[in-house]
Structures are given as structure tokens and as C-alpha cells.
Structure 1
Amino acid sequence: MSTQASPPDRTAQYAELLGVALDAARRAGALLRDGRPADLGVAATKSSQVDVVTEMDIAAEKLITDHIARLRPDDGLLGEEGASRAGSSGVRWVIDPLDGTVNYLYGLPSWSVSIAAELDGEVVVGVVEAPMRGETYQAVLGGGALVNGVQARRRPAPELAQALVGTGFGYVAERRAAQAEVVRALLPQVRDIRRAGSAAIDLVDVGCGRLDAYYERGLNPWDLAAGDLFAREAGALTGGRPGERASGDLTVAAPAGLFEPLQQCLEELGAWHD
């Protein structure tokens, strides 16, 4: 858990933002779980023909953004499926309405709704809703991380050779080939690799102790904002290349003692470039 305490004048504001995020994420999660059409298909593609958007991604983002706009009309928005609005309040919502779209398209359970609130550019609230797990993950800057209301606990740091490490891959062929080479070199140095298909779930799983570590290249702000805060508030470290914050170049999450050797290994393997 983070040792940074929220200033007294921020406590009520954080609580309000958390309430909005929880309500929006639960509504969107219910829509996605209960409203999935039997004939669900691809509505559009993005970076490549295998990077897909479904009608439910779009519907969930509209539900979330409409909900936020109704309650907090002066806030900014940044959403994966195109929602973008400058605000005047200092708050910006960073939204992935369906993280793990390919899993959802195929009927696999590892997908989630991810909503984070930034205040003056810093993420202060994060919620990841995983309906098929029946779990809600929430974090507040300086206030810890909870899973269904229970304090999250990351695992003690193992040696790198004993670490179960999550990762993910991009959708452009050249990047995937480079990422495969990193995995090929890393796999003999760790316990095993897992690839779940939702960055938000991977990050909260580090915070919950279901993974020892996670890394990925190519994440967008909406992929990592909420999960990154959750992992940190659960006691893990997060970052990118040595000395840098988690970003699209590289995101790494692990407890202290494992974070450093994994980060250095990924640096040497060139996990931060294609």
C-alpha cells in the first residue's frame, strides 16, 4: 500500500470520484455481461485486422461517458473508442470500456472494464471491473487497494527464476515478432509466462498475488491507468525503462526485489523497442 496520504481537502474529492467510477464500471460490466449478442461480430479494426472493436465496446463507452457527463459535466474524457473532451475541472477520466476485446469476442472470461480518474495529470482513482470473475478492484492514491472490499495483498518477491510473469502482445506483426523474441529469451529465466489478454487484469493480478510480475510493450493510457494505480497501492512497484514511468514503451509491475532484476533483464533484452 502506498504511504502517501491524501491531503484532508482531497479525501472527499477522491471519494466522490471513486463512487462515480465504481457505479460507471459496474453498469458497463453488467451491460457487457448480460447484453452480449449471440451473433457478436467485429464492428471495426484499429492497428491491424486482428485489433478489433465490437459494437459492445462502443455501447459500453457511451454508457460510461454519458454517466460521467451527467454527474460531472466539467471533467475531461479520454476513451479507447474515441471519447475525447477537454475539461475545466482539473479531472480527466481515462476509460477502457472493454479491455480484452478479443477474449470477449471469443467468449473467454478474461475481460474487464477499466476506469481511472486523473487530477491535474496524476491518477488518483482506479477501478477495474471483471464481471466474469465477480470481482471489483478499486484503488485510491494513498488509500490502498481493495478487491470486493477486502485489502489486496501482493505476493512476497521471489527470485527471478521462481517468478510467474504475465505479459501481452501487440497486434502489428512486426511488433509481435519482436515480443516473441523477448519471451523466447526470458522464458528460461523465470518460472513460467502467462498471457491472459487483458492488461488491466494482469496489473490487478500482480496486486492480488495471482502473478508475481507483469510486463508489456505498447500499452495505451487507458490500458494501464487504473491497473497501475491498483498494483502500486497493493504494494508493488511499477515503471518502464530504468528511471522512467510506465508508458507505451514499456510497463513493468512487480514487488520490490523482483522488480529491479526483471526490469534490468527486460532492458537488456530490448523489450522497450520493436
Structure 2
Amino acid sequence: MSTTMPFAAGTSLLADVTSLVRTAGRTLLDRRTPHARGVSLDEIVDEIHANDDAVLDVLREPLLRTRPGSRWAEDELAGGALPPGEWWVVDPAEGNINHVHAMEDWAVTATLVRDNQPVLTVVHLPLTGETYTAVAGGGAHLDGRPLKVSAKTDLGATLTGTGQARPGEDMRTFRRIGESVTAMLASGLVVRVSVPATMQLIHVAAGRMDAFWQFSDVRSGLVAGALLVSEAGGTVTDLAGEPWSTAGRDFLAAAPGVHTAALAVLSPIA
């Protein structure tokens, strides 16, 4: 991800967005059940949509009012560049499939993207009450405490991760995921394969994991983590090693000391 200019409005806006996302998180928390919901694919999809709708009902309009003139990226699973200007890229239930299956890895995220670069983000984990925030030029924080990526320099000592961005990816993407996991298993220490992306990227930003990559351009799963990792001192690029933006077709976020080595492992997988 290319270096962005400091976001001057970030300090005052961040408090408002954080409050809204935490409120939305309570809605998602209230919808949690101790058992998996849905048996058939149609039932599972209905539950996912119901989660999204419930959170958006309390989040969308208030969030748009915080930034007059901003627009809303409608399709949660879309990728590619956005038109110029400011856009809210929101995942009302990041890790929705986990929520529906009574698992723990889910969150509410809201990211302001300006000219295809994230400039402010809030990631709230309702189960733990933790809130991760970042503002371009202002650092990344967990409940107000600064975050810093891992200091590792040996890829062989790394905990890395990847995952599936959305159901129904094409077979080439599935093959690349499999080949990349095999390659990184041979090069690193441990590889996690899980969803959603944001829940792994907060670990990279906090120095708990060392790298995360994805063969997809689903922006809602990447923009929050991209800003958190870069503001925590990490390196965020595509798999050609170029600075990442929402126009990128693939993604790598890593601690600086292992980014080059991870790129060398992953970039040949075409």
C-alpha cells in the first residue's frame, strides 16, 4: 500500500465512527446464538443476510452523516478500484459465516477510503469488546494502545496465514491458494488457513502473526487490515511487490523483516 498523506480530519472523525461501530456491534452480539443456524445453503444465506441487514439498519445512515459527500460501497464482496472521492467500505458482519455457525471470529468494520486508499478504519470485536483503529499518518491502536508489527527477520520462524475471500472463487484461485499454502508450509513455521481476512490482519498489525496473503480483490475484507498493518509499521503490497490499493488483484501484508522473503515464495504462484 502506498504511503498516504496524514488524514487531517481523522482525530475528530475517529471518535464518532468508533462509537457508531461499537453500537452496531451490540446489534450483532444480540443476534449471536450458542448453536449453528441453518442447515441448507439457502437457510445459511438467509441468516447471513439477516445479520447484514440488522447491522446496516443502525450503521449506514449515521455513518454517512459523519462525512458529508461520502458514498457507500454497496457490494460487500466486490473488488477493484472505486471512483474518485471518499467511500465507506463496510463489512457489517466480517466473518458472518463464523457468526452463523456459533464460532468466535467475527467483527464489525468500517473504513473510509479516499481515492482508493484507506485513510481511517475501525474494527470492533463485540465478543471481547476490543476495538482496533487506525488513521493514515496517525498510527494503529488497540483500545488506545499503539500497535507494532513483528520484528522477525527469518521466514522460517513465522506464523503466517491466508484464506478464502468469498464462496465460489474460480478454480484457478482455489489452486493458487492450495499451492501457496504448500509453499509456505515448506518455508515458514506454521500456516493458518481461516476466514475472515480482517481477523488475521489484526494479528499481523499486533505482531502476533507475521504475514497474511490473499489471492483476491474483495476490498471489504482487506482495506481495514491494510491500514492497520501499514500504520503499525508493516509492508502492504500486491504479489508483484507493488504498493497495494483497492485496485490490486492480490494482497500481501507482512512485517518488514520477512516481507521480501514471503514475496519470493508467493509471487511465482501464478
Note the C-alpha offset of 1:132: 2.0
Match of 2:208 in 1: 210
Name the SS of the counterpart of 1:54 in structure 2.
Answer: helix
More divergent stretch after superposition (165-174 vs 259-268): 165-174
Match of 2:72 in 1: 77
Q: d(CA) in 1 for partners of 2:60 and 2:269?
A: 40
Deviation, 1:5, is: 6.5
Structure 2, unpaired ranges of 5+: 79-83
Superposition TM-score, scaled by structure 1 size: 0.83
Q: Distance in 2 between matches of 1:160 and 1:168?
A: 19
Q: Which of 24, 36, 40 is residue 28 of structure 1 equivalent to? A: 24
Q: Distance in 1 between matches of 2:217 and 2:163?
A: 9
For the residues of structure 2 that align with 1:28 and 1:149, how far apart are their CA atoms?
20
Tell me the alpha carbon deviations over residues 173-211 of structure 1, each in whole angstroms, 9 at most, x when there is no partner. 623243112212321211011123111121111010110
Aligned residue pairs total 258
Shift of 1:43: 11
Q: Distance in 1 between matches of 2:117 and 2:77?
A: 21
Give the Cα–Cα distance (whole angstroms) in 2 for the partners of residues 122 and 217 of structure 1.
Answer: 19
Whole-Å separation in 2 of the counterparts to 1:222 and 1:109: 19
Provide the C-alpha distance between the structure 2 equivalents of 1:152 and 1:37, rounded to a whole number of angstroms: 32
Q: For 1:209, give the aligned amino acid.
A: G
**In the alignment, is the contact (CA less than 8 A) between 1:168 and 1:195 conserved in 2?**
yes
User: 1:222-245: CA deviations, max 9, x gaps?
Assistant: 111111001000010001122423
Write the mapping of 1:80-91 to structure 2, written as runs, cut at 5 A. 80-81=75-76, 90-91=85-86
| Separation in 2, partners of 1:194, 1:64 | 31
- 1:169 aligned counterpart, secondary structure: coil
Bigger drift between 153-162 and 35-44 goes to 35-44
Whether the 8 Å contact between 1:42 and 1:55 is mirrored in structure 2 is no
Partner of 2:81: none
TM-score, normalised by the number of residues in structure 2: 0.84
Change (3 A) 1:204 1:253: same
> Which one-letter code corresponds to 1:214 in the other structure?
F
Number of the residue aligned with 2:225:
227
Sort the Cα spacing of 1:149 and 1:43 in 2 relative to 1 into closer, same or farther, 3 A.
Answer: farther
**CA displacement at 1:95 relative to structure 2:** 0.7
Match 1:152 to one of 147, 150, 153: 147
Please give the residue correspondences for 1:96-135 in structure 2 after superposition, counting only pairs within 5 Å: 96-135=91-130
Greater RCO structure (CA 8 Å; 6+ sep)? 2
CA contact (8 A) 1:42 1:53 kept: no
Q: Is 1:188 aligned with 2:186?
A: yes
Q: Residue 126 of structure 1: CA displacement?
A: 1.1
Secondary structure of 2:73's aligned partner? strand
Q: 1:108 to 1:25 in 2, by over 3 A?
A: same
Q: Is the 8 A contact 1:129 1:136 kept in 2?
A: yes
| Identical aligned residues as a percent | 30
Structure 1 alignment gaps of length 5 or more: 84-88
In 2, the alpha carbon distance for the partners of 1:24 and 1:119 equals 20
Is residue 131 of structure 2 the alignment partner of residue 136 of structure 1? yes
Aligned mates of 1:29, 1:36 — CA distance in 2: 11
Q: CA RMSD in A?
A: 3.0
Look up the SS of the partner of 1:214 in the other structure: strand
CA distance in 1, matches of 2:194, 2:99: 12
CA contact (8 A) 1:42 1:52 kept: no
Q: Pick which of 61-70 and 215-224 moved more.
A: 61-70
